[in-house]
């Protein structure tokens, strides 16, 4: 098993490894950011029965397709398992399985993996299991083909149906530019959303009610108690550092770009600090709803209004690898995984804490909001992250990190723009009272051409980063 090249996330993979190990399977875990060559050579050297691939960020999906095609080219016969947060039965069926003639199975979570592996390794069960899996994938490909045939609006039509807002009273932050942040962990612990901690272990339910659930309550409580002990060790021993940067800039939208300016002494925009090209929803939307872009939440350049946009990048992963290695050396994989899961929760808590501070800096924050209210997003403004639904291009994190000087705070990016340490969060802050989260789902060739020009990259480069949301197949488009 391995997390594919360019990706550093491995909590789910590690849990799968523990589950398989507890069921007497030998697991060779190659770690994270593993090249195709290394994965396939290890499979040969270890005489493996199955290869498992994991990934979290969307560029990992393309890497999995490449691994499958390379397994086919090398005439390998091992079944291939696919897992990770951004993977899906649909993507596995449409993109990965067609590249490899052997069984290619999407495994949604660790609770399913033992049955899948047992079926694939059983001479009696494998034929029926494989036939059922292939039939399901064929049906998913048919459904996908039908969705692909649905037309999208032209980008001109989508822009004509943009979200129209009142920008006359923009919130003005108390400072502009970047502030570095180095914070004590005990300040961000109250912002932890424990619900997602349990979800990593496939224990689903609202915290703290999950602790009293008649079915999974005992397991959830045991896990929570263990996590609390480890968290206390981490906080008391200052074993992990939380650092980051955030800031505000005068801003305007310029078409579908969000432009951040450096402030002049006279208070007027002087030069561009960063320009972020944004995408716009291009599907036909029912009930006369607008086709949104994040650019719609910022005052247009021709309005003459100076708006403001914020940005942030934080990590709670400095020191995590050293702590994990300590537990692994003691053969305590359970604690090692919990430490990584806690670090992820601390990073999200740090992002929540800093967003609360940003709202105060903007003048509309409410320090009295409860943690439940924060989790339910009962506040003004949003903090969308590059690589996620409203702005799905991971590569824009490079521009964001340059703007913030994030690398000086201990953060970095892989070649696929996964953040390191893995327990990190970054994004933009929008303050408009009507700013809401939304998803870019299918974009047409005309918008991608326009986006590539605005981004200053070749068309195939833009298509690479936008592949999960393309409404067309680039290989079928004539040059």
Question: Distance between CA 219 and CA 463 in Å, rounded?
Answer: 44
3-state secondary structure (DSSP) of residue 220: helix
Query: Residue 258: enclosing H or E segment and its boundaries?
Result: strand 257-263
3-state secondary structure (DSSP) of residue 95: helix
Question: Distance between CA 463 and CA 393 in Å, rounded?
Answer: 10
Question: Distance between CA 124 and CA 284 in Å, rounded?
Answer: 48
Please name which of 411, 414, 417, 413 lies closest in space to residue 395, comparing C-alpha atoms. Answer: 417
Active site residues: 7, 9, 60
Cβ–Cβ under 8 Å, residues 342 and 234: yes
Q: Which residues of 383-406 are buried (b: 16+ CB within 10 A; e: fewer)?
A: bbbbbbebbbbbbbbebbbebbeb
238: exposed, middle or buried (Cβ count in 10 Å: 0-12, 13-18, 19+) = exposed
- Count of residues making up the chain: 479
Measured in degrees and rounded to the nearest 5, phi and psi for residue 316 equal -125, 35
User: How are beta strands 80-83 and 104-106 bridged, if at all?
Assistant: parallel
3-state secondary structure (DSSP) of residue 478: coil
Concatenated DSSP letters for 360-393?
A: HHHT---TT--HHHHHTT-SS-B---TTBTTB--
Question: Distance between CA 68 and CA 422 in Å, rounded?
Answer: 25
Question: Distance between CA 337 and CA 322 in Å, rounded?
Answer: 13
């Amino acid at each position: 098993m391995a997390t594919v090249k360019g990706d550093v996330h491995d909590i789910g993979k590690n849990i799968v490894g523990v589950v398989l190990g507890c069921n007497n399977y030998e697991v060779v875990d190659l770690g994270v950011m593993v090249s195709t060559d290394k994965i396939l050579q290890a499979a040969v050297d270890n005489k493996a029965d199955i290869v498992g691939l994991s990934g979290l960020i969307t560029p990992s999906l393309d890497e999995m397709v490449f691994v499958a095609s390379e397994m086919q080219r090398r005439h390998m016969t091992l079944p291939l398992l696919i897992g990770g947060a951004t993977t899906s039965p649909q993507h596995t069926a449409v993109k990965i399985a067609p590249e490899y003639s052997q069984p290619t199975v999407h495994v949604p979570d660790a609770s399913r993996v033992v049955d899948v592996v047992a079926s694939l390794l059983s001479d009696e069960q494998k034929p029926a299991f494989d036939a059922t899996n292939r039939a399901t994938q064929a049906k998913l490909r048919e459904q996908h083909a039908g969705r692909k045939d649905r037309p999208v609006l032209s980008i001109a039509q989508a822009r004509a149906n943009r979200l129209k807002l009142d920008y006359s009273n923009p919130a003005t932050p108390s400072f502009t530019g970047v502030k570095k942040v180095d914070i004590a962990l005990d300040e961000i612990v109250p912002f932890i959303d424990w619900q997602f901690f349990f979800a990593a272990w496939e224990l689903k339910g609202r915290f703290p009610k999950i602790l009293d659930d008649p079915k999974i309550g005992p397991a959830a409580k045991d896990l929570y108690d263990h996590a609390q002990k480890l968290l206390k060790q981490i906080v008391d021993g200052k074993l992990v550092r939380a650092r980051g940067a955030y800031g505000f800039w005068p801003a305007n939208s310029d078409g579908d770009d969000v432009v951040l300016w450096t402030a002049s002494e006279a208070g007027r925009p002087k030069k561009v600090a960063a320009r972020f090209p944004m995408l716009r929803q291009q599907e036909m939307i029912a009930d006369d709803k607008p086709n949104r872009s994040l650019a719609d939440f910022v005052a247009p350049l021709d309005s003459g209004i100076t708006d403001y946009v914020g940005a942030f990048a934080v990590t709670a992963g400095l020191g995590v690898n050293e702590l994990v290695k300590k537990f692994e050396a003691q053969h305590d994989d359970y604690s090692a995984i919990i430490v990584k899961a806690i670090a992820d929760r601390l990073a999200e808590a740090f992002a929540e804490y800093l967003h609360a501070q940003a709202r105060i800096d903007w003048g509309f924050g409410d320090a009295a909001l409860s943690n439940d209210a924060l989790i339910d997003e009962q506040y003004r403004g949003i903090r969308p992250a590059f690589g996620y639904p409203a702005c799905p291009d991971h590569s824009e994190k490079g521009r964001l990190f340059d703007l913030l000087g994030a690398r000086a705070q201990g953060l970095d990016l892989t070649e696929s723009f996964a953040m390191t340490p893995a327990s990190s969060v970054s994004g933009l802050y929008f303050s408009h009272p009507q700013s809401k989260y939304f998803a870019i789902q299918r974009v047409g060739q005309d918008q991608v051409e326009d986006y590539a020009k605005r981004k200053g990259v070749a068309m195939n480069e833009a298509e690479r980063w936008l592949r999960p949301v393309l409404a067309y197949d680039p290989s079928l488009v004539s040059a």
